[in-house]
Amino acid sequence: MIELKYFLLISAFLFSLGVFGVLTRRNAVNVLMGVELILNSANLNLVAFSRYSSVGIDGQMFAVFVIVVAAAEVAVALAIVLTLYRVLNTVNLDRADVLKR
Amino acid sequence: MNLGNLDSLNFFYPELILLGGILLVVISDISLKGLRVRINPLLTLAALLLALFYTLQTDHGSAMTLFEGMLALDNFALYFKVFLLVAGILVLLGSLHSEELASVHQGEFHALLLAVTLGMLLMANSAHLVMLYLSLELVSLTSYIMVGYLRSDRLSNEASMKYILFGAVSTGAMLYGFSLLYGMTGSLDLFAIRDALLAQEVVGFNQVTLVLVVVLTTAGFGFKTAAVPFHFWCPDVYTGAPTPVTAFLSVAPKAAGFAILVRFFLGGLSQPSGEQWAFISGIDWPLVLIAVSVMTMTLGNIAALTQNNLKRMLAYSSIAHAGYILMGAVLLTGTGLKAMLVYLFVYLFMNLGAFFVVTVIFNSEKTFELQDYNGMFRRSPFLAVAMSIFLLSLIGIPPFAGFLGKLYIFGAVIDQGLYWFALVGALNAAVAAFYYMRVMKHMILENDDRPPTPLRISTLNVALLVLLLVPNILLIVFWSPIDRWTANSITLFGGL
């Protein structure tokens, strides 16, 4: 059986990858993909902890909720990206800079 | 006492009413073509008032958990429920005669306002990490939409985009922190987490993990309360959002954020011992939060000094106030917690008041720039005097309510012997006086050459301004009910 630590390592790697993506990408959709990686790293943690311990399935239940909320979040985020695109004709975040003065 | 699902419904009326209100508003919005403009605000107001009524009816006796430990119903939660519903009602009234929102269809706005209020009520109650996360996301998702409500407006869209990206990342980080905490303790229930942490020796690898958990979860709560270093979204979002929404964001989700911050750190990571809370050994998180509080108020106040856009200035000022409010929470005493509640209560009226004057002036002037406020006293003495009272209250000048908040906060800090902390707070209040006074100077002393044309304000707006002025002036005289109420409200489930 694969040990718990490998799951934790992969999830830490995914989390770092997500944060890296959020910080470096200028395209709004790519940033959202980074956010998804962060959320899924948490999911992986929750499911792995729940599977490898005798404390019940709370973690797996939490992960299901997170997946659903993440879908809702992306739906709202993409709608906002779309309206921003209608106004700006681009989804590049560097162009959305009117508010910084 | 733990209540099961069916028994809990008796204590769940306010939330059920808001839920019904959302459905009714959506239905009336699509079915009543001509009447909806009149009916929707009334339905929303009725739902909020009814929810407030049932909240006040709730038995203040014993603390208990609802829905198998998902929600904690204690006096602390009841305080925040009343607070958030009052904030919702005031913002609803303030949004009715706002020119910014009048240009777009308002049906969804009322449904969203009810949804975000529902989310905040659940946030103040939650005693389980799943509930905490779900309610926080309910508040976040609806407020993203409210910020971007002016679809054709570039600023509103940009603000909403920034808000959702910052929000998604910080709640993601918080979630990762939760998952580590779950791994450490094997539970998602806050009180079980505390018991598990107390049972084990937090040293070595566990200590590192706990530090990581505290840092990551602070990101989530810091985002909601706009505390430094998670405040970057705040000035931009507050400037771009429609003003009634900004007023709402600066008070209600911030207060709900403080509610879960206290519940998580005091309920989950410390244990009550006598009059004080002792934090779980392994990490000195109160010191982390004290540093956050000092940074928050200093940065907020210094950045506000140079702002010429009223909304942006008030955004930085609200960051600074988050720092003051945090001062009460990090002391780990009942007095500190009470001071925080008093401060939040007066902050509700003074900050909503200031933002509301900005809304009213924008209605006729279409500007947020400080220069355009010149000569406002000659054009509308009432508005200028009202704004001055709100600003003096925000500074904390004695006859007004803001003084009461500062008095309680600094008193609680000095009580703990943290003199330097109180001194930093007092210095900050002095710096803040400068930029608030600057607005008053522009409104009252500086005049432009144009002949003063009287400013027209609708009757509803005058009434609402008076409604907001009354607590600012009278709270200092009738402070004893507030004192009693907040003293009652510091009882946390499984706590003091």
Structure confidence at residue A9 as a pLDDT band (50, 70, 90): very high
Which residues lie closer than 8 Å to B287 by C-beta, 6 or more apart? none
Residue of chain A nearest B240, judged by CA positions? A99
In this complex, do A87 and B157 lie within 8 Å of one another by their Cβ atoms? yes
Q: Which residue range(s) make up the domain with B187?
A: 5-489
Q: Give A18-37 pLDDT, tens digit per residue.
A: 999 999 998 999 999 999 99
Count of domains for chain B: 1
**pLDDT above 60 (res B306):** yes
Interface test with B, best of A76, A85, A86, A97 (most B CBs within 10 A): A76
According to the model, what pLDDT value does residue B267 have?
Answer: 81
Query: Which chain A residue is nearest to residue B174, measuring alpha carbons?
Result: A42
Query: pLDDT, tens digit, for every residue of B52-86?
Result: 999 998 866 677 888 888 898 888 899 999 999 99
For residue B147, what pLDDT band results from cuts at 50, 70 and 90?
A: very high
Percent of residues, chain B, with pLDDT higher than 70: 97
pLDDT-derived band at B496, boundaries 50, 70, 90? very low
- The pLDDT assigned to B495 comes to 56
pLDDT, one tens digit per residue, over B412-449 is 999 888 899 999 999 999 999 999 999 999 888 887 77
Chain B: closest CA distance from residue A24 (Å): 13
**Calpha distance B226→B232 (Å, rounded):** 8
Selecting from B130, B137, B180 the residue whose C-beta is nearest the C-beta of A45 gives B180
Q: Average pLDDT for residues B369-377, to the nearest whole number?
A: 85
Res. B374: pLDDT tops 90: no
Query: Could you give the ipTM of this predicted complex?
Result: 0.95
* Dihedral class, residue B184 (left if φ above 0, else alpha if ψ from -120 to 50, else beta): alpha
Residue B496 lies in a domain: no
pLDDT at B99: 82
> Among all residues of chain A, which has the CA nearest to that of B141?
A73
In whole numbers, what is the pLDDT of chain B averaged over residues? 88
Dihedral angle of Cα B93, B96, B101, B103, to the nearest 10 degrees: 180
Contact B282, B204 (CB under 8 A): no
Whole-model pTM? Answer: 0.94
The C-alpha atoms of residue B98 and residue A14 are separated, in whole angstroms, by 45
| B137 → chain A, closest CA residue | A69
Nearest residue, CB atoms, A69 vs list B134, B151, B165: B134
Residue with tokens 């960051």: B319
Check residues B281 and B408 and name the one with the higher pLDDT. Answer: B408
Distance CA B399, CA B407 (A): 12
Q: Between these two residues, B142 and B34, which has the higher pLDDT value?
A: B142
Q: In this model, does residue B284 exceed pLDDT 80?
A: no
Provide mean pLDDT across the span A70-77: 94
Q: Do B179 and A96 touch (CB under 8 A)?
A: no
- For residue A90, the model assigns a pLDDT of 85
Rounded to the nearest 10 degrees, the angle between the axes of helix B154-185 and helix B190-199 is 40
Closest to A36 (Cα-Cα) out of A9, A67, A65, A62: A67
Query: What average pLDDT score do residues B153-169 get?
Result: 91
Nearest to B182 among A38, A46, A97 (CB): A46
In a domain, B315, yes or no: yes
β-pair partners for B126: B71
Lowest mean pLDDT among B201-215, B293-307, B414-428: B201-215
At residue B239, what is the residue type? T
> Is residue B101 in a domain?
yes
Residue A81 at interface with chain B, using a CB cutoff of 8 Å: yes
Whether residue A76 and residue B158 make contact (CB cut-off 8 A), yes or no, is no
User: What's the CA gap between B86 and B49, in Å, rounded?
Assistant: 9
- The reply to whether A35 touches chain B by the CB within 8 Å rule is yes
**pLDDT range class, residue B298, cuts 50, 70, 90:** very high
Other CB atoms within 10 A of residue B362 CB = 19
Full set of structural domains in chain A with CATH: 4-95 (1.10.287.3510)
pLDDT of residue B143: 94
Q: Are A46 and B181 in contact (CB under 8 A)?
A: no
Check whether B112 has a pLDDT greater than 90. Answer: yes
